[in-house]
Amino acid sequence: MIMVKGLIWDDWNRKHINQHGITQQEIEEVCHGKHKVKESYRKRILVIGKTKRGQLLAIVLSPEDRDLQPYGNGTYYVITAFKKEVKS
């Protein structure tokens, strides 16, 4: 089971998710709350879950830095995030 213990933030990813209308707090809520994880390409993971307000988010996280060195210990860099439609 993949567990997200920590997220790495910088100016680039904060600005990028903000362009999608998502806040850092919403990302933290989903990643540290109840969510589903799917493995993606290049060792990345896709985290899907709801914020406290009920907005469904899909979040792409990387376990490696730009030099492909792993962060380890459940720490991930936030690549992107987007809102998903909640299916009835």
What's the pLDDT tens digit per position in 12-46?
Answer: 999 999 999 999 999 999 999 999 999 988 899 99
Sheet containing 35-39, strands listed edge to edge, beginning at the edge strand earlier in sequence = 6-8, 75-84, 56-62, 45-50, 35-39
2/14: higher pLDDT: 14
Average pLDDT of every residue of the chain: 93
Per-residue confidence at 71, pLDDT binned at 50, 70, 90?
very high
CB under 8 Å, gap of 24 or more: what pairs does 37-44 form?
37/1, 37/2, 37/4, 39/2, 44/79
